[in-house]
């Protein structure tokens, strides 16, 4: 009985997923492929043949131009001072 079942329904081949990183096609899992699509292929590098996300340093820019504001920033009632 099981032989007939195997003959009627051939085994399903697993789909392979590929990503182009640094100009090379690399086989990845489905979850990795979705993550690469979400973040962009340009944000990944190859590390020993495996994709690895680039390390980006966050630069937190502080804008000290405004020294003081009133309690309502949409309708300032006092003068504000620009730092130079």
pLDDT tens readout for residues 38-80:
999 999 999 998 999 998 888 777 666 555 555 666 665 666 6
Domain that holds residue 36: 2-53
- Would 23 be classed as within a structural domain? yes
Q: Are 83 and 65 in contact (CB under 8 A)?
A: yes
- Would 84 be classed as within a structural domain? no
Q: Residue 21 gets which letter from DSSP?
A: E
- Would 49 be classed as within a structural domain? yes
- Would 35 be classed as within a structural domain? yes
- Above 90 in pLDDT, residue 31? yes
- Would 59 be classed as within a structural domain? no
Q: Are 79 and 73 in contact (CB under 8 A)?
A: no
Structural domain count, the chain: 1
Burial 46-84 (b: 16+ CB within 10 A, else e): eeeeebeeeeeeeeeeeeeeeeeeeeeeeeeeeeeeeee
């Amino acid at each position: 009985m099981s032989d007939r079942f195997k003959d009627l329904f051939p085994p399903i081949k697993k789909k392979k997923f590929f990503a182009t990183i640094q100009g090379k096609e690399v086989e990845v899992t489905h979850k990795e492929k979705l993550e690469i699509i979400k973040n962009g292929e340009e944000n990944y590098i190859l590390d020993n043949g495996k994709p690895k996300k680039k390390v980006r340093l966050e630069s937190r820019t502080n804008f000290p131009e405004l020294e003081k504001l009133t309690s309502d920033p949409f309708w300032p009632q006092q003068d504000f001072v620009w730092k130079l």
